[in-house]
């Protein structure tokens, strides 16, 4: 009878043995939120995009800081700021009602920003967490209005504002913009994703009403999104030109109407006009700088899940 001698086999490596003992290359783990480092090409693209975005503002500042002769005299435009910025800004306020235009723009933009945040978050809370008859058809109507160009409603809006006796008043700009379909849909999505139903039920079990639940549960959960909505609404109202040109007389206009008056005439003083542009851009830049962190986090909140 043949006897079979057992062959010596290499023992299998233990599952918990280090990768170096098994002869395997250890792959570093990627922790949460850890991204690969960008290369030189990515930095070059970002630098080019940043320069292209900042250059128009810088060019406006350069032209606004020179006198008109130095800007138009040479074949090469100046690229270094001059020393006439304060003088040109003083001329802007002397030759036009720019103080009144700034005040009108602050009133319109500030009021519409606050009202959009408040009313859009209330409507978004109702569409996201409340159950009532006709909720889906009403939400569909809100979404459908996003597909209608704004210019198609200018004539009916003008007729409505005139019939209400609001023509020539700042309320002609404020009342139609108190709430927007974009804001309602955006806040509805934010509340749906960030506020669990369990929190709403817990607040109800504690005896909180709808308004108290909205203020103490919903608002803190979507504060970042509401800040972004308010900033975007403020910028849109501040930069709007078409509807204020129709609804307001030139002597009671907004900043954009005042800038149009500076550019009107047979001869355009570019230093004067761009000095007005610099003044009109400063409030938006200051607001964006103060809220930059919240704006970036709010915009990225919907793009990153996990």
> Span 168-188, mean pLDDT?
93
Q: What count of Cα atoms within 13 Å lies in the side-chain half-sphere of residue 116?
A: 28
User: Mean per-residue pLDDT for 255-276?
Assistant: 84
> Residue 51 and residue 65: Cα distance in Å, rounded?
20
pLDDT digits (tens, 9 = 90+) for 100-158: 999 999 999 999 999 999 999 999 999 999 888 989 999 999 989 888 888 888 999 99
pLDDT of residue 9: 47
Tokens 């160009």 — which residue? 149
| Residue 291 confidence class, pLDDT cut points 50, 70, 90 | confident
What pLDDT is recorded for position 25?
53
* Distance of alpha carbon 306 from alpha carbon 27, whole angstroms: 23
Distance separating alpha carbons of residues 132 and 141, to the nearest angstrom = 16
- Tell me what pLDDT residue 290 has: 81
pLDDT value of position 26: 52
Q: How many Cβ atoms are within 10 Å of 26's Cβ, its own excluded?
A: 9
Tell me if residue 295 falls in helix, strand or coil: helix
* The pLDDT value given to residue 41: 87
Is residue 20 within 8 Å of residue 26, measured between CB atoms? yes
pTM of the model: 0.79
Q: Residue 35 — very low, low, confident or very high, per pLDDT cuts 50/70/90?
A: low
CA 244, CA 55: separation in Å to the nearest integer? 28
Q: Tens digits of per-residue pLDDT, 208-250?
A: 888 899 999 999 989 888 988 999 999 999 999 999 999 999 8
Q: How confident is the model at residue 19 (pLDDT cuts 50, 70, 90)?
A: very low
Token pair listed for 228: 């972004």
Cα–Cα nearest to 117, from 228, 253, 247: 228
pLDDT at position 170: 93
């Amino acid at each position: 009878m043949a006897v079979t001698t057992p062959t010596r086999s290499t023992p299998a490596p233990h599952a918990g043995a280090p990768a170096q003992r098994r002869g395997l290359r250890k792959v570093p783990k990627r922790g949460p939120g850890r991204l690969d480092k960008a290369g030189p090409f990515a930095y070059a693209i970002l630098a080019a995009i940043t320069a292209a975005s900042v250059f128009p503002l810088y060019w406006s500042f350069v032209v606004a800081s020179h006198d008109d002769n130095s800007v138009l005299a040479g074949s090469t435009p100046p690229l270094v700021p001059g020393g006439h910025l304060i003088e040109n800004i003083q001329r802007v306020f002397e030759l036009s009602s720019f103080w009144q235009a700034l005040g009108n723009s602050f009133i319109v933009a500030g009021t519409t920003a606050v009202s959009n945040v408040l009313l859009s978050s209330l409507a978004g809370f109702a569409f996201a967490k409340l159950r009532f008859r006709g909720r889906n058809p009403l939400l569909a109507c809100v979404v459908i209005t996003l597909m209608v160009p704004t210019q198609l409603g200018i004539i009916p809006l003008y007729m409505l504002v005139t019939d209400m006796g609001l023509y020539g008043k700042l309320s002609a700009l404020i009342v139609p913009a108190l709430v927007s379909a974009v804001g309602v849909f955006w806040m509805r999505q934010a509340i749906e994703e960030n506020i669990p139903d369990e929190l709403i039920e817990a607040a109800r079990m504690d005896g909180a009403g709808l308004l108290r639940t909205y203020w103490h549960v919903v608002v803190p959960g979507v504060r970042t999104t509401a800040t972004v909505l308010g900033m975007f609404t403020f910028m849109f109202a501040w930069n709007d030109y078409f509807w204020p040109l129709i609804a307001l007389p030139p002597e009671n206009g907004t900043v954009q109407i005042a800038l149009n008056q500076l550019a009107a005439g047979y001869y355009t003083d570019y230093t004067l006009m761009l000095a007005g542009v610099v003044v009109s851009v400063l409030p938006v830049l200051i607001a964006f700088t103060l809220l930059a962190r919240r704006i970036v986090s709010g915009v990225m909140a919907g793009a990153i899940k996990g």
